[in-house]
Amino acid sequence: MEKEVKVIATNKKAYHDFFIEDTYEAGIQLVGSEVKSLRNGGLNLKDSFAIVKNGEIFLVGAHISPYKMGSCFNPDPRRDRRLLLHKKEIAKLRGKVEQKGYALVVTKAYFKQSLVKVELALAKGKEAHDKRQALKEKQVERDVRRALADY
């Protein structure tokens, strides 16, 4: 039986601003009507990242829109949410993040069967010249595809 995956949101800016070295799948601890809001596509990962605090990993800066049919007790849309990983994975990530230049960035959120999962990436920041080089490579690749399509 294949596991059905439905993507909720992607963080395209993460691929532009960082070199993605390794990815991990993590669960996310949600409360109340946040899952219903996610089913409606109410998630923004644009400025989100993860931090290691007290032996746990937290998602910071993700915005989950309040569910319109929810009560007046909807949770704060910008609150920190705990990510669920094994202790060995957390220890490994903490060791990498403490090295200079590494960050934990969320690249994608999706439903896997009925569970909400996030793709957590271990990333290294790009310099401005790296970003320009990546844009040049994309443009060259696009030009080659157009030239081949003409034939």
Contacts of 120 (CB under 8 A, 6+ apart): 23, 24, 25, 26, 50, 57, 83, 85, 93, 104, 105, 106, 107
Q: Return the structure tokens found at 39.
A: 């089913």
Domains of the chain: 5-125 (2.40.280.10)
Write down the pLDDT at residue 2.
Answer: 59
Query: What gap in Å lies between CA 142 and CA 22, rounded to an integer?
Result: 26
Is residue 96 within 8 Å of residue 122, measured between CB atoms?
Answer: yes
pLDDT at 126: 77
pTM of the model: 0.78
Nearest C-alpha neighbor of 18 from the set 107, 89, 83:
107
Per-residue confidence in pLDDT tens, the chain, 151 aa: 457 888 999 988 888 888 888 899 999 998 878 888 888 888 888 888 999 999 899 999 988 888 877 767 777 778 899 999 999 999 999 988 887 778 899 999 999 988 999 999 998 887 777 778 888 888 999 999 888 887 7
The whole-angstrom separation of Cα 55 and Cα 52 is 6
* pLDDT at res. 106: 93
pLDDT number for residue 59: 93
**Which DSSP helix (H) or strand (E) runs through 130?**
helix 128-150
